[in-house]
């Protein structure tokens, strides 16, 4: 987007009139934010250089990476959730490598995301899909921390959604901190939940886990028209499956 001619005129006019620097700076910052969707000088420099907005797929995994790293440590559950997103999107090997690179990029936290999110402001279905995936990543370790919630609410605001709508998209993903999962909290229950036995090979256990994840993926059900209650139940089921798989994997000693 070109710098608006009106902005140049306003700046020039105020400069000639010797408007105090603080007032001029505040006005300029306000106009930049409202007219150009910029929230930092880094974003302004990117706009002047003509740098393109981040691709939607890259944007998704950058957001997921930033959420995973928000409390300082990326857990195995976060990595598994990122892999689940790759599978949902049907990415090929090249696509997976690109997604991993974007996820790692997100962990670094260097990207200015306002402009890229702002461009989705009028595409509410895309914005909601993006935020739903963010809520799932935040809840991957069975709790949603304060920093994760603040990030998602801020991103939702940049996407043009109300705070209540953003919270509604996360309904059912959160669980009270410190509470154990309802199921899969013993080895025997974990085996039963995945439908495997103690003498199954790791490959068989992995296939069972992935098949059940695919059947219970909240986004897949939401996309097919399932109601909020069904999506929440699927979210709970997905979390239980993950906890059960983690327990079995630790007991059997495979990755």
Q: What is the structure's pLDDT at 14?
A: 46
Q: Does 86 lie in the same domain as 43?
A: no
Q: What is the structure's pLDDT at 34?
A: 47
Q: Does 63 lie in the same domain as 34?
A: no
b/e map 207-237, b = 16+ CB within 10 Å? ebbeebbeebbbbebbeeeeeeeebebbbbb
Q: Does 157 lie in the same domain as 60?
A: yes
Question: Which regions of the chain are under pLDDT 70?
Answer: 1-53, 172-185, 226
Q: Does 94 lie in the same domain as 24?
A: no
Q: Does 150 lie in the same domain as 60?
A: yes
122 occurs within a structural domain: yes
175 occurs within a structural domain: no
How many domains is the chain built from?
Answer: 3
Q: What is the structure's pLDDT at 20?
A: 54
Q: Among all chains, which residue has been given the structure tokens 């919270």?
A: 167
DSSP string, 123-176: -HHHHHHHHHHHHHHHTTTS---HHHHHHHHHHHHHTT--HHHHHHHTTTT---
Q: Does 154 lie in the same domain as 69?
A: yes
User: In whole angstroms, what is the distance from residue 135 CA to residue 138 CA?
Assistant: 5
119 occurs within a structural domain: yes
Q: What is the structure's pLDDT at 96?
A: 94
Q: Does 147 lie in the same domain as 60?
A: yes
Q: What is the CATH number of the domain that holds 205?
A: 1.10.287
Task: Render pLDDT for 156-170 as a digit per residue (tens, 0 to 9).
Answer: 999 999 988 888 888
74 occurs within a structural domain: yes
Q: What is the structure's pLDDT at 222?
A: 73
Q: Which of 163, 170, 121, 126 is nearest to 145 (CA)?
A: 170
Q: What is the structure's pLDDT at 29?
A: 53
121 occurs within a structural domain: yes
Q: Does 78 lie in the same domain as 43?
A: no
Q: Does 68 lie in the same domain as 154?
A: yes
Q: Does 209 lie in the same domain as 137?
A: no
Q: What is the structure's pLDDT at 53?
A: 61
174 occurs within a structural domain: no
**Boundaries of domain holding 231:** 187-252
DSSP string, 172-222: TT---TTPPPSS--SHHHHHHHHT--TT--HHHHHHHHHHHHHHT-HHHHH
């Amino acid at each position: 987007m070109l710098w608006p001619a009106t902005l140049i005129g306003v700046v020039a006019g105020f400069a000639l009139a010797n408007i105090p620097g603080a007032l001029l700076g505040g006005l300029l910052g306000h106009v930049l934010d409202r007219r150009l969707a910029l929230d930092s000088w880094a974003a302004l420099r990117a706009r002047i250089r003509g740098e393109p907005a981040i691709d939607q797929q890259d944007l998704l995994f950058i957001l997921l990476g930033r959420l995973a790293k928000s409390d300082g440590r990326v857990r195995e559950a976060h990595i598994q959730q990122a892999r689940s997103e790759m599978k949902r999107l049907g990415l090929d090997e090249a696509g997976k490598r690109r997604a991993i690179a974007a996820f790692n990029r997100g962990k670094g936290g260097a990207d200015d995301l306002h402009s890229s999110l702002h461009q989705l402001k009028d595409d509410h279905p895309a914005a909601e899909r993006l935020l739903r995936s963010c809520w799932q990543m935040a809840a991957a370790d069975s709790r949603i921390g304060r920093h994760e919630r603040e990030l998602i609410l801020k991103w939702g605001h940049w996407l043009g959604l109300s705070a209540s709508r953003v919270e509604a998209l996360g309904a059912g993903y959160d669980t009270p901190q410190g509470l154990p999962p309802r199921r899969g909290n013993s080895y025997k229950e974990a085996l039963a939940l995945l439908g495997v036995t103690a003498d199954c090979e790791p490959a068989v256990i992995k296939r069972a886990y992935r098949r059940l994840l695919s059947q219970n993926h909240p986004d897949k059900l939401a996309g097919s028209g399932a109601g909020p209650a069904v999506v929440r139940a699927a979210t709970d089921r997905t979390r239980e499956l993950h906890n059960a798989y983690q327990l079995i994997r630790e007991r059997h000693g495979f990755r």
